[in-house]
Amino acid sequence: MTKQQFDTIKQPRLMVLNLLEKFTLEQINAIPAGFNNNIAWNLGHMLAAQLGICYKRAGLEVDESFYQTYKPESKPEGPITQEQFDEIKEKLISSLDQLEKDHQAGIFVNYPTWSTRYGVVISSIDDAISFLPFHEGLHIGYIMAIRKLV
């Protein structure tokens, strides 16, 4: 994996965070009619997916409480606090830096082959990291739709 591949994930995250700077916490937590989640959940889910796809699949430990809150098929359990939102925003960037360091350190040695719900076969940590922009693009699309309704 190259620095550019990690930047391909980081740049859209930075763009979304910049776009959301003027949003209130109430807007971040709002669930519009027709949706089953909110902006906060989508951002948290992007992080949880990174944890699950890259670390959990490789048999490595993650922050299980955070993962359970935002894993696939979960829904917002209630509004998040400003402190929780600030943590998500910070982790959207710092977790990518950590992923890059962990990748360079070679900690993903036991990565099994599996298929995503989208039919993509992932057989290595490089495949997993390459899948993240596709998955995050879906959730950034939801964020862009929700932001117009809140």
- Residue 95: CB atoms within 10 A of its CB come to 19
Paired strand residues for 121? 115
- Provide, rounded to the nearest whole percent, the portion of the chain with pLDDT above 70: 100
Q: Domain limits of the chain?
A: 3-147
Nearest to 136 by CA among 7, 13, 6: 13
Q: Given the structure tokens 């990565």, which residue do they identify?
A: 111
pLDDT tens, residue by residue, 26-44: 999 999 999 999 999 999 9
CATH code assigned to 3-147: 1.20.120
Q: Given the structure tokens 């990518």, which residue do they identify?
A: 96
Q: State the average pLDDT over residues 130-149.
A: 95
Average pLDDT, the chain: 95
Report the amino acid identity of residue 80: I
Return the half-sphere exposure (C-beta side, CA atoms, 13 A cut-off) of residue 106. Answer: 0
- pLDDT-derived band at 1, boundaries 50, 70, 90: confident
pLDDT tens, residue by residue, 60-84: 999 999 999 999 999 999 999 999 9
pTM equals 0.94
